[in-house]
Structure 1
Amino acid sequence: MATFVDVGANIGLFALSAARSGADRVIAIEPIPSLADQIELAAEREGLSQVEVVRKAVALAAGARTLNVSMRGDMGISSLLNLREDLSDDPYWATRSDLGFDQLVEVDVAPLADILLPLGLPGIDFIKIDCQGLDLAVLQSLGDGLRELRGGMLEVSTTRHTALYEDEASVLEDVLNWLKASSFDVYAIKPNDPALNEVNVYFCRSGVDFREYEAELGLKNLALYADRHFWHCPAPDPDPSTSPVISAMASEVARISQEVGRLSDVIAAQMSEIDEKQRLISVLTRSVEAAFDREAEAKANIGLSALQQELAGERQRAVSLGEEIDHLRHQHQAGIAELQAEVERLAKIASDEELGAKKATYDRDVALAEVQALKTRLGGLEHAQREALQKLDEATIKLDLSERLRSRLELRRSVSHNAPA
Structure 2
Amino acid sequence: MRTSPRFDRGHTDDLMSFVTASPSPYHAVASAAERLEKAGFRQVAETDAWDAEGSTASPAGTGGRYVLRGGALIAWYVPEGAAPHTPFRILGAHTDSPNLRVKPLPDSGAHGWRQVAVEIYGGPLMNSWLDRDLGMAGRVFLRDGSTRLVDVDRPLLRVPQLAIHLDRSVSSDGLQLDKQRHLQPVWGLGNDVRDGDLIAFLEQELGLAAGEVTGWDLMTYPVEPPAYLGRDRELLASPRLDNLLSVHAGLAALTAAASAPENLTSIPVLAAFDHEETGSQSDTGADGPLLGSVLERSVHARGGSPEDRARALAATVCLSSDVGHAVHPNYAERHDPTHHPRAGGGPILKVNANNRYATDGSGRAVFAAACEKAGVPFQSFVSHNSMPCGTTIGPITAARHGIRTVDIGVAILSMHSAREMCAAADPYLLASALTAFLES
Decide which structure has the larger Cα Rg and report it. 1
Q: More helix per residue: 1 or 2?
A: 1
Report the TM-score when normalising by structure 2.
0.23
